């Protein structure tokens, strides 16, 4: 059709929408049949399969020809799978709240919007909630590109039996959100002290002399802003959505690469997706060369180590627990061989989890 009219184009979109909707429902019925198939194989089955979801997202990206970007189609399919899974089994996800935190945004990015979210006040509460089975999974921050590791999260693994089932990276974009009409009407800016620090230059330039108030979280700051239009909060898009606030200025962070990584914790062992990583927790005797001898088999078996973090063991002074990330799944031949040797050299080795590399 040469130069179709607006009316013709809209009719075409209506026809396409009808097909998309029918296909979505066909996919959803298929997912319901998958649930039956899983149940007949094993009555105690888990319906959520992160390794399969990662594979679906990888295929979506690989076959994408635009004009929608790979990220955009992956995000759409993330939501489709979320809705399909909810028909099989609605998931409850505990996260570090209150509502409107970046952890909430990370939870929604990873699981999609068709889950039941449960905001909790502290990292250890999230672990306890999942351990008790009151939530299926938990989402907690683990490191920030500026601030470094979130020690509290790492320390939880020393005592918790939970496993890592996935991770999510989130670019931290700070928004100035408020009910104020304009910057001039803002009398104070509320946020977590880290967010205030990360937007210092912007605040100096755009809101000089305006009071800055540190509060317990950016979600709490947004809640306060929703009750008083003289207050602006620094928080996420999710917080603006949750509390019905307008965004007066976007992406006001001084460092545009500010990124936080979150862990998804649960009691599920995740199968191989073909593009995975494995997190280990190890301790060694406090003696010369111990750490080298521990990691030597990792390199000899051609396994690539991408990260190492140490924390006091809390058992005795100057004794450390190492958190090590390697590429691959624990069932991969090379990783399994390295782990077998590592076990004989470490005083304690725990595989915290093998999980798909983030596809979002």
Ligand X SMILES: C=C(O[C@@H]1C=C(C(=O)O)C=C[C@H]1O)C(=O)O
Q: Residues interacting with ligand X, by CB under 6 A?
A: 31, 34, 47-49, 52-53, 56, 81, 84-85, 88
Cβ distance 333 to 291 under 8 Å? no
| Least spacing, CB of residue 42 vs ligand X, in Å | 13
Residue 189 CA, chain-centre distance (Å), reads 27
Closest CA to 309 of 273, 251, 261, 243: 261
Q: Sign of dihedral through CA atoms 34, 115, 170, 178? A: positive
| Least spacing, CB of residue 257 vs ligand X, in Å | 31
| Least spacing, CB of residue 107 vs ligand X, in Å | 16
Tell me the CB-side half-sphere exposure of residue 142, using CA atoms within 13 A: 22
293 upstream amide cis, omega within 30 of 0: no
Closer CB to ligand X, 47 or 202, in the complex = 47
Closer CB to ligand X, 78 or 329, in the complex = 78
Closer CB to ligand X, 53 or 105, in the complex = 53
| Least spacing, CB of residue 196 vs ligand X, in Å | 39
Closer CB to ligand X, 110 or 329, in the complex = 110
Q: How far apart are CA 352 and CA 324, in angstroms?
A: 10
Closer CB to ligand X, 82 or 242, in the complex = 82
Q: How far apart are CA 174 and CA 240, in angstroms?
A: 11
Cβ distance 276 to 354 under 8 Å? yes
Task: Report the DSSP pairing between strands 211-214 and 188-191.
Answer: parallel
| Least spacing, CB of residue 93 vs ligand X, in Å | 13
Name the one residue in this structure whose structure tokens are 């020690």. 151
| Least spacing, CB of residue 209 vs ligand X, in Å | 52
Would you call 322 helix, strand, or coil by DSSP?
A: strand
| Least spacing, CB of residue 50 vs ligand X, in Å | 7
Closer CB to ligand X, 36 or 71, in the complex = 36
Q: How far apart are CA 322 and CA 310, in angstroms?
A: 4
Closer CB to ligand X, 56 or 149, in the complex = 56
């Amino acid at each position: 059709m040469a130069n179709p009219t607006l009316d013709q184009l809209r009719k075409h979109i209506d026809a396409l929408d009808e097909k998309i909707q029918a296909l979505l429902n066909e996919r959803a019925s298929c997912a319901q049949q998958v649930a039956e198939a899983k149940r007949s194989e094993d009555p105690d089955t888990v319906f959520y399969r992160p390794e399969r979801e990662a594979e679906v997202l990888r295929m979506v990206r690989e076959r994408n020809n635009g004009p929608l970007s790979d990220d955009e189609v992956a995000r759409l399919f993330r939501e489709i799978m979320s809705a399909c899974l909810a028909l099989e089994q609605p998931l409850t996800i505990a996260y570090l709240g209150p509502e409107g935190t970046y952890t909430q945004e990370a939870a929604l990015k990873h699981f999609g919007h068709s889950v039941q979210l449960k905001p909790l006040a502290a990292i250890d509460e999230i672990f306890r909630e999942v351990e008790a089975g009151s939530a299926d999974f938990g989402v907690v921050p683990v490191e920030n590109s500026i601030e470094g590791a979130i020690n509290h999260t790492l320390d939880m693994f020393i005592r918790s039996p939970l496993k890592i089932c996935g991770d999510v990276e989130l670019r931290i974009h700070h928004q100035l959100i408020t009910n104020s009409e304009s910057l001039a009407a803002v009398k104070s800016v509320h946020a977590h002290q880290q967010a205030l620090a990360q937007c210092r230059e912007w605040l100096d330039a755009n809101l000089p002399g305006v009071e800055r108030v540190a509060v317990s979280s950016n979600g709490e700051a947004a809640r306060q802003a929703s009750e008083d239009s003289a207050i602006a909060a620094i928080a996420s898009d999710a917080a603006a959505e949750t509390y019905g606030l307008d965004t007066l200025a976007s992406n006001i962070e001084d460092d545009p690469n500010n990124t936080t990584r979150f862990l998804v914790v649960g009691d599920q062992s995740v199968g191989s997706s073909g593009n995975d990583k494995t997190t280990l927790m190890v301790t060694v005797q406090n003696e010369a060369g111990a750490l080298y001898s521990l990691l030597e088999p990792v390199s000899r078996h051609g396994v690539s180590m991408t990260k190492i973090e140490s924390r006091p063991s809390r058992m005795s002074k100057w004794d450390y627990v190492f958190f090590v990330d390697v590429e691959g799944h624990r069932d991969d031949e090379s990783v399994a061989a390295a782990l077998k040797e590592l076990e004989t050299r470490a005083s304690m080795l725990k595989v915290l989890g093998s999980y798909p590399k983030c596809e979002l």
